[in-house]
Amino acid sequence: MSELQKIPDKPLRKGYTTGACATACVKGALIGLLTKKIQENVTITLPIGEDATFYLQNHVITETKSFCSTIKDAGDDPDVTHLAEISAEVELNNHKEIIFQRGEGVGLVTLPGLEIAVGEVAINPVPRKMMRIVCNKILSNYNLENFGVTITISVKDGEKLAKRTLNSRLGILYGISILGTSGIVTPFSAASYIASIRQGIDVAMANNASELLINSGARSEKMLREIFPKVPETACIHYGNWIRETFEKIAESPQIKTVNMGIMLGKAAKLAAGNLNTHSGKTTWDKKFIAQIALEAGYDKEIANMILSLNMAGRLREIFIFAPQEKFYQILLKYCYKHCHQIASEVQLNLYLINNDGTYIKYIK
């Protein structure tokens, strides 16, 4: 997934959220409907208080409806919706309400646990608020307070883009979510990934889960689910590189009693040293610390020096046979367990070191 890409070594350009883009389209379309004039660009105020200008295209204005779109610019963030075409169609209604409808490529909420109710279009609360503010201000400006606005948001190829996200795991089907709390996309901040972790745990609890499987990604999840075949998919969470944030959410969730965690060797080598963000752009494995683990496990200095000569943590398997009885791995997992358990001390944590071939070593406390 994009969140695992290498972070460029250069100043990074910020971009705009899908929610900000949708709001700009709503503003342009509604003014166009009321004036019957195409709005080539509009400026909106973002939730953080900054103004942002968006260029609009593909205008269609009829007597009762108006449509326009914009191309999302995510800056230098490897967002799956970068350069996606986001559009809004608006029409007045007599309900004095701002009504949101699902257009093509926007998701539908099908599971409880999210901030949006089951059966609703997947437009998050902050973008909804942004669009309501824009519509109400425009209606007031044109003395149309007795009307409401029906808004249909669409994303070109949104259903295809959604396959590159965790939406289906959260019960969001048929398209992407319209997201954003600040209006700004900060490159490589992983805000959307971390939000999906928190949402995933909320969905698991709303579906009566008290036990989670947490893994770095799809490969380790597949291996761990062979150990726990009865745990439902809604209780499987990808922590990616954000172990701290995952366990912080677990600590906030007393319904969760048991956590089964799968981790692969490269990430375990970082986590053991206390690095709870394991992104390669943020941390590297500490060979000196891992060498100390070998000494603690009873190996001699020659073995420790062999560790210091390695260029990647995965090569530890060349020194230590990947087997449950290998003491080095138990000491490594002891430190991994310590850092995670310190954050979420109330849960039963079962820790599994997973090899590339699907074999595993369970930590024995």
Question: In the predicted model, what is the mean pLDDT of the chain?
Answer: 91
Q: Residue 33 is inside which H or E element, if any?
A: helix 18-35
Distance, in Å, from the CA atom of 336 to the CA atom of 340, rounded to the nearest integer, reads 6
pLDDT of residue 282: 60
Q: What percent of the chain is modeled with pLDDT above 90?
A: 78
- 312-363 pLDDT tens trace: 999 999 999 999 999 999 999 999 999 999 999 999 999 999 998 889 999 9
What is the average per-residue pLDDT within 16-45?
A: 97
Distance, in Å, from the CA atom of 101 to the CA atom of 87, rounded to the nearest integer, reads 12
Phi/psi of residue 344, nearest 5 degrees: -125, 75
Q: For residue 19, which of 180, 153, 149, 154 has the smallest C-alpha distance?
A: 180
Distance, in Å, from the CA atom of 240 to the CA atom of 170, rounded to the nearest integer, reads 16
Q: For residue 131, which of 147, 145, 152 has the smallest C-alpha distance?
A: 152
pLDDT of residue 3: 41
Distance, in Å, from the CA atom of 103 to the CA atom of 147, rounded to the nearest integer, reads 22
Selected residue with higher pLDDT from 186 and 242:
242
How far, rounded to the nearest angstrom, does the alpha carbon of residue 18 sit from its chain's CA centroid? 14
The secondary structure of 266-333 as a DSSP string is HHHHHHHTT-SB--TTT----HHHHHHHHHHTT--HHHHHHHHT-SSGGGGGGTS--STT-HHHHHHH
pLDDT of 2 > 50? The answer is no
DSSP code for 277: B
pLDDT of residue 297: 94
Range list for CATH 3.40.1050 in the chain? 209-362
CATH 1.10.287 is held by the domain 209-362: no
Q: Which fold has domain 2-185?
A: CbiD-like (3.30.2110)
- 65-81 pLDDT tens trace: 999 999 998 766 667 88
pLDDT of residue 302: 95
Query: Do the Cβ atoms of 87 and 153 come closer than 8 Å?
Result: yes
How do strand 236-238 and strand 211-215 relate by DSSP bridges? parallel
- C-beta pairs of 73-76 under 8 Å, 24+ apart in sequence: 73/15, 73/16, 74/15, 74/16, 74/185, 75/12, 75/13, 75/14, 75/15, 75/16, 75/185, 75/187, 76/8, 76/12, 76/13, 76/14, 76/15, 76/187, 76/188
pLDDT of residue 174: 96
DSSP code for 175: S
- Residues in the chain, total: 365
pLDDT of 150 > 50? The answer is yes
Query: Do the Cβ atoms of 138 and 34 come closer than 8 Å?
Result: yes
- 184-231 pLDDT tens trace: 776 556 777 888 899 999 999 999 999 999 998 888 888 899 999 999
Distance, in Å, from the CA atom of 127 to the CA atom of 239, rounded to the nearest integer, reads 26
- 243-293 pLDDT tens trace: 999 999 999 999 999 999 999 999 999 999 999 887 655 678 999 999 999
What is the average per-residue pLDDT within 144-162?
A: 97
pLDDT of residue 6: 56
What angle (nearest 5°) sits at the alpha carbon of residue 191, between those of residues 200 and 16?
125
How do strand 41-45 and strand 15-16 relate by DSSP bridges? unpaired
Range list for CATH 3.30.2110.10 in the chain? 2-185
What is the average per-residue pLDDT within 12-31?
A: 92
Distance, in Å, from the CA atom of 53 to the CA atom of 42, rounded to the nearest integer, reads 6
Q: Collapsing DSSP states into helix, strand and coil, what is residue 14?
A: coil
Distance, in Å, from the CA atom of 336 to the CA atom of 268, rounded to the nearest integer, reads 7
pLDDT of residue 278: 77
- Cα–Cα distances (Å) from 232 to 174, 219, 225, 267, in that order, read 21, 17, 9, 25
- Cα–Cα distances (Å) from 273 to 49, 264, 318, 361, in that order, read 40, 15, 21, 19
Q: Collapsing DSSP states into helix, strand and coil, what is residue 169?
A: helix
